[in-house]
Structure 1
């Protein structure tokens, strides 16, 4: 029994091809070829993971390495409460 391939989830390459075709728009000829080659060979964009409190602490500590006392406290408070 054969299965219908169109009902299957598209592969990453097929999804990339669809996206690149949409982005190519009205480009034609050599311009389109060059665009498609670049688009299809591009590395996939990986969604950034949400920043954890531990990650924020590490980043803020690195940024505040030269601060001491009250200025450091104030900076850390602002840095850690900022949404990133």
Structure 2
């Protein structure tokens, strides 16, 4: 599991440790997240949970393996729940 976040590295590492996530990539811009999602998707399915507008671009930038731009509903979940998370 990988955490991609725009938060500072110290905060990201602390939250990831609590969640048992070893691969933490912090201080990312939306385009950095989109690139990481593309790289991660080459290894298999990708799920994404986002809580803000900065997560829309990375979520929609992922391309199908056939090159099309449509969302892969089975590979990614974008959600916004109670209190924005």
Q: TM-score, normalised by structure 1?
A: 0.26
Q: Which has the higher contact order (CA 8 A, sep 6+)?
A: 2
Q: TM-score, normalised by structure 2?
A: 0.25
Q: Compare the two structures and name the one with the higher strand fraction.
A: 2
- Greater C-alpha Rg: 1
Q: Compare the two structures and name the one with the higher helix fraction.
A: 1
